[in-house]
Chain A
Amino acid sequence: MSLRSLLKKEFHWSKHNALALGFVLLLLPAFFASTSVVFGTVVPRDAPVAVTPESEDVTDQELSIITGAFEPFSAPKRVDSPAEAEQMLRRESVYAIVQVPPDITNASNDNATFVLTVDGSIAPFERPSQAIRVIMARALDDAPFLEADISVRREVVGTENSLSEYLVPSFLMAVMILFAFTYVPYNLAKERDVLDRIRTESSLETLILSKLIYFSVLMLVPVVVFQGAAAYLGYATTALSVGTVLTLLLTFFYLAAISTTIMVLLRFGTLGRFVNVVVLLGITAFSGLAFPVGYLSPVRKAIIRADPVHYSTIMTRSFMLKDADLSLFADWLLALSGFALLTLACVKLSAVYYRRTT
């Protein structure tokens, strides 16, 4: 009989926690099931490639022919100058640059050499870029109007990193995301015991701000750990640089502000922690942490490109693997700072909402 009573108790508990259970039993399984579909589309056939003229002698028509020839196996983008294309390569807006030599439609031109430039730090693109070189040579040979004898040379710029090195910034970013959406909500939930006193003696906003600052500074610890581990393993990565630290702390700050907003809106309860886990899974799936975004389907690519974490990841990778200059990402850093301020405003509004509904 006691078992029956206790089962009845569990049923009552479930009724009172229907929303939390709904997340665990319905939404999470649905999420996992749907993410399996995502992996089916991971084919590098939409890799963005910059098509740029080698010199001013290259005509618009020649660029159009080459762009068209690339469309079956990549996502070519016409770029006006090699310098601009290089910047796009460094910012992972494209994964390769194709420099189009002049006079390719000229029958008197015996030999035209295309240069396919790739970034050595994007380890997952190393093999695909070799395949692209072969496909490209064949496609250009078959292309109409190209009279010259075509050859393609593949060039690698920057340090060539191993796949392990390539993944180090991704893992570090994953730690930031994980901490922001699991530990921060857990810690905030514990504030429930003392929230009335804190609100009486200080304010909700001050409490939250202190946590955001404290945990952001605390994030230096995993950065140092990663630096130590990378040094021990002999990786060519730099975690302790101004760019890396600035990007990671800024990223953690806005992610923690998002998770905090959720917690405050859901009154520091269990539901808030579940929602944060769901957001964590969503951000992980849609930030291009492991795969370069250019590999993914157009829909997923579009979603990822609207996600600030995607830009944080690219910056972290560039600072850690390529020692990129801060000025290269000045506009992105400014935009992310603006986004961080926006999330801070959301925290403030959630605190106002909390007070008004108390």
Chain B
Amino acid sequence: MIELDGVRKEYGDVVAVQDLTLSVGGGQFHCLIGPNGSGKTTVFRLLLGLARPTAGTLSVEGGTVGCGFQRPNFYPDLTVRENLQVFAGLVGSPSREWRETVVDELRLRRAMDRPAHDLSGGFARKLDLALGLLKRPDYLLLDEPLAALDDVSKERLLDFLSSYADDATVLVSTHHVGDFEPHTDRLTVMHEGTVVLDARPEHIDLDGHASLQAYYVALVRQQEQAASDRDDDARQPGRRPGAGGE
């Protein structure tokens, strides 16, 4: 399991994540959702060891971690094949067969000999995902994996990730839960650096909303309103809580 316990991360004066306690693992398709600036990417960077918590503890036990980045990370001057070779060597890719499977599943074969800097946005995303999958990680962390993908590629990737989640944990960061809804085993909603909801989708009461996406949007708005009210109270110290209005 990956365990975050009371984690706080500050960048200068900005608190990106505060008092975050979360367990990730157990072979599930886990969606981390939240608006821009909610702290999702910071959580990913913490999980990947790219950032250090300002406070709290973080532990990764029993497995390897692979990742797909929000901004594709590969060598632009190398070809797709060369990138795959370099990183397969670096991560100790389990087998050549697995590498071939990844290439086929992500439909990268016809781009193998193209320089990576020539790839379209969609292919660049696929190459980044392929690099994250090379070591067949126990925890696959993907930051906005569907960005720049066409609808057909999205469906194909979601099917692949769904089956991958049978044997491993897939943690996806996004602000469009709709694409992932049919596949998601667990949903964690973040807002302003804290977790405001963590539940299995079937346990969430949509409260009259037509979809999980609509429910999420309403939840975020509610959080924003609450934050705004808190700010107003802070600006007017003499005002009693709940004593506003008419």
Contact = CB atoms under 8 A, between A and B. Distances in A.
B73 interface: yes
Given A193-B74, A193-B76, A201 B91 contact: yes
A356 interface: yes
B48 interface: yes
Contacts of A358: 45, 50-52
Interface string B73-97: 1111100000000010011000000
Contact of A194 (B65, B67, B73): B73
Contact of A196 (B50, B65, B91): B50
Interface residues of A, number: 14
A200 B91 CA distance: 10
Contacts of A197: 67, 69, 73-74, 87, 131
Given A358-B51, A358-B52, A200 B67 contact: yes
Contact of A199 (B49, B76, B77, B91): B49
Nearest to B68: A197
The interface centre, meaning the residue of A198, A200, A202, A358 with most chain B CB atoms within 10 A of its CB, is A200
Contacts of B91: 201
Interface string A181-195: 000000000100111
A4 interface: no
Contacts of B87: 197, 201
A215 to B, nearest CB: 16
Interface in A306-358: 355-356, 358
B90 A201 contact: yes
Interface in B78-126: 87, 90-91
The interface centre, meaning the residue of A190, A198, A201, A356 with most chain B CB atoms within 10 A of its CB, is A201
A193 B73 contact: yes
A201 B84 CA distance: 13
Interface string B205-239: 00000000000000000000000000000000000
A198 B87 CA distance: 9
A271 B110 CA distance: 39
Contact of B65 (A198, A200, A355, A356): A200
Interface in A47-94: none
Contacts of A356: 52
The interface centre, meaning the residue of A195, A196, A356, A358 with most chain B CB atoms within 10 A of its CB, is A196
Contacts of A201: 87, 90-91, 135
Contacts of A202: 90
Interface string B45-74: 100111110000000000001010100011
A197 B133 CA distance: 12
Contacts of A200: 48-50, 65, 67
A200 B45 CA distance: 10
Interface in B104-160: 131, 135
B138 to A, nearest CB: 14
A193 B52 CA distance: 21
A355 B50 CA distance: 7
Nearest to A193: B76
Interface of B: 45, 48-52, 65, 67, 69, 73-77, 87, 90-91, 131, 135
Given A197-B87, A200-B48, A201-B135, 4 more contacts: A196-B69, A197-B131, A199-B49, A201-B91
Interface of A: 190, 193-202, 355-356, 358
11 contacts: A194-B73, A194-B74, A196-B48, A196-B69, A197-B87, A198-B90, A199-B49, A199-B50, A200-B48, A200-B49, A200-B65
